[in-house]
């Protein structure tokens, strides 16, 4: 028997797995693509698919890496939260080295951002690892 939440997360995973990124690619909207990667990583985690979530984070980071040279605040925020989501997946998969690498890259993105702007509703900011935001959902 499935609970309502498990059905929702399974549906989110199925929808994300079949997500077509072509419209975003055609528009050159790296921020939207990064947000889709992050959403699917969350869906994978919620269904216990930690290894797949970690792999998808790696794929998303590889896709977005070329945009780091000219990254906007929105880009850095989405990129950073993708890495944070991936670090949780890697840690739950007991892959400490990957979790640490994702956290280091997220920290670097946060330092480049330099302030808490809550871009793209991410609640991503430089001191997030040491002082998690209160009253906000990440």
- pLDDT, one tens digit per residue, over 48-95 is 999 999 999 999 999 999 888 898 888 898 998 899 999 999 999 999
Strand extents, DSSP E, the chain: none
Question: Residue 15 sits in which domain range?
Answer: 4-121
Is the residue at 29 inside a domain? yes
Is the residue at 132 inside a domain? no
pLDDT tens per residue across span 1-36 = 444 454 455 555 555 555 555 555 555 678 888 888
Is the residue at 59 inside a domain? yes
Is the residue at 134 inside a domain? no
Q: How far is CA 122 from the centre of its chain?
A: 10
pLDDT of residue 113: 77
Tell whether the model's pLDDT for residue 101 goes beyond 90.
Answer: yes
Identify the three-state secondary structure at position 12. Answer: helix
The tally of domains found in the chain comes to 1
pLDDT of residue 91: 95
Rounded CA gap, 138 and 121, in Å? 8
CATH number, position 47: 1.25.40
């Amino acid at each position: 028997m499935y609970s309502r939440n498990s059905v929702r997360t399974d549906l989110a995973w199925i929808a994300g797995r079949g997500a077509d990124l072509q419209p975003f690619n055609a528009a050159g909207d790296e921020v939207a693509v990064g947000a889709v990667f992050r959403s699917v990583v969350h869906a994978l985690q919620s269904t216990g698919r930690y290894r797949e979530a970690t792999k998808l984070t790696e794929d998303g980071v590889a896709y977005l890496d070329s945009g780091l040279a000219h990254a906007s605040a929105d880009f850095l925020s989405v990129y950073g939260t993708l890495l944070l989501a991936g670090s949780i997946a890697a840690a739950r998969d007991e892959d400490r080295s990957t979790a640490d690498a994702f956290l280091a890259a997220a920290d670097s993105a946060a330092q480049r951002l330099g302030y808490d702007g809550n871009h793209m509703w991410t609640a991503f900011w430089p001191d997030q690892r040491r002082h998690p935001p209160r009253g906000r959902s990440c």
